[in-house]
Structure 1
Amino acid sequence: MITWAHVILDLPEAARSADEPFWSSVFGGSLADPWDGHPELASFLPPAGDRSVHRQLVGDGPPRVHLDLEVDDLQAETERLRLLGATPGRRVGEEWVTLSSPGGAVFCLVIGPASQDRPPPVVGAGGVRRRLVQVCLDIPPGRSHEEAAFWRSVVPWRWEEVQDPEFLGRLVPPPGAPLQLLLQELGPDDGGATVRAHLDVGSDDREATATELVGLGALRLGEGDGWVLLQDPAGMAFCVTAHPPDRP
């Protein structure tokens, strides 16, 4: 059973000096000391509530995002997901196991505490609130049916249709969970071969929040119906959306 979802920012060493202070400001807290026994990992400390976003130092390559899903039985959940089509990878004792979805999205199963307290929204300039509300899985054309079926079986949350043809739908967790999962089908001109992920920051006023994050070091790339596309200082794309920061 999946009990909590974490976001991991995989940062190459060259990106940490720019991205660590930027994301600390976005999340309204600070970066804690590295984990005992795992110096590559550190958690972003929110002003209140429990940790749900973490930084992992990786080798060369662009910065990226992956999910860690907390479970109560690592072996049983690993086997369940394998039967659903996941490919198991590296295992670290009884702490966590890395897997990949049928479309190549890397994620982890981890053992964690039984309950968590979701961090509240961050209050930014002018009293505008923001919070990391969802992870969006960007799925290449031709993989959407298989990938959506996989994630709907993996994550036992409520499936919600989205009134936009480029979005397949979203998985909405029970109240109090830190984030939801949005599934998006990429256009044929994207060129990507595997599923990747990006962060969506929900805001009371997306334009005000986008402007504030540009002031913190983000680059504005464009906008669409309900979202503003930004790039963090290390070159990783993310969005500011009109999704209320109190939900899910």
Structure 2
Amino acid sequence: MTVRWITGFLDTPSRVAEPFWQAVTGSGLSPRRGPGGEFATLRPAGGDPYLRVQVVGDGPARAHLDLHVTDVAAQARRAVALGASVLADEGELVVLRSPAGLPWCLVAWHGEANRPAGARSLVDQMCLDVPAGVFDAEAGFWAAVTGWPRRPGSRPEFQALVRPPGMPLRLLLQRVDAPAGMHLDLACTDRAAEVAWHEQLGARVVAGHERWTTLRDPAGRTYCVTDRPV
């Protein structure tokens, strides 16, 4: 599969966290789309959009990935052959589930190619939290689906997929002793200052680590602020 672009979705039962993510990313909000106005795009100051918000009918607040491709139907068939299951097929949008239970989507590519840049911080990674017992199989699945090579992460519980140049989000897989899920990570130049700013905007610190801080946004969604170059 040739992934042309990647989008991170913030799925929330309400719009309560949208102002927070606009502030954190320095983005504007597009006109709302969908029958109930449930979709909107976070528009960066420069580059092509790669983050979107969605009001969903159930909780908890969470995140998922959209992979943008040139032939959705063909790539959906390929994903199924690799072990994915189809949850919904709307032509240019196919909703799937990975073998470990992670929901994600295949969508049509519309020419997005310019990765936005950040100054003090940047949302630049989606972390796939995978139960330890199925980690190796799930990592192999995502490497096969994306065509991105696997490499060891910075710690034994991590593996990274090497993204092509210009792709806006990295993909990191993490072994966890919890149900499968996804969360966004931000790179920043000054983690202490970044975390303090997020708290002022309504986030709450959950845990601190040597190289990252885990927080919850105003909707209760977990994400991380990390010591990585912007």
TM range (shorter): over 0.9
Greater shift, 154-163 or 83-92, is seen at: 154-163
| TM-score, reference length from structure 2 | 0.95
Q: Any idea what the Cα deviations from partners look like across 1:13-47, whole Å, max 9, x if unmatched?
A: 2xx1x301000001101211113667321101111
Structure 2 unaligned blocks of 5 or more: none
Residue among 35, 60, 63 paired with 1:62: 60
Report how far residue 69 of structure 1 moved: 0.2
Report how far residue 159 of structure 1 moved: 2.2
- Look up the match of 2:128: 137
Report how far residue 205 of structure 1 moved: 1.5
Report how far residue 113 of structure 1 moved: 1.5
Q: Structure 1: which amino acid aligns with 2:7?
A: H
1:99 to 1:38, Cα distance in 2 relative to 1, 3 A = farther
1:172 paired with 2:162, answer: yes
| TM-score, reference length from structure 1 | 0.88
Q: Structure 2: which amino acid aligns with 1:186?
A: V
Q: Structure 1: which amino acid aligns with 2:17?
A: D
- Which 4+ runs in 1 deviate beyond 6 A? none
Equivalents in 1 of 2:197, 2:148: separation in Å?
Answer: 33
1:113 paired with 2:104, answer: no
- Look up the match of 2:189: 204
Equivalents in 1 of 2:48, 2:153: separation in Å?
Answer: 29
Report how far residue 120 of structure 1 moved: 1.2
1:38 to 1:108, Cα distance in 2 relative to 1, 3 A = farther
1:213 paired with 2:198, answer: yes
1:227 paired with 2:227, answer: no
- Look up the match of 1:87: 85
Contact kept? 1:8, 1:66, Cα under 8 Å: yes
- What fraction of aligned residue pairs are identical, expressed as a percent? 40
Alignment of 1:41-52 (within 5 A): 41-52=39-50
Report how far residue 87 of structure 1 moved: 0.2
Aligned to 1:80, what secondary structure does the other structure show? helix
- Look up the match of 1:158: 149
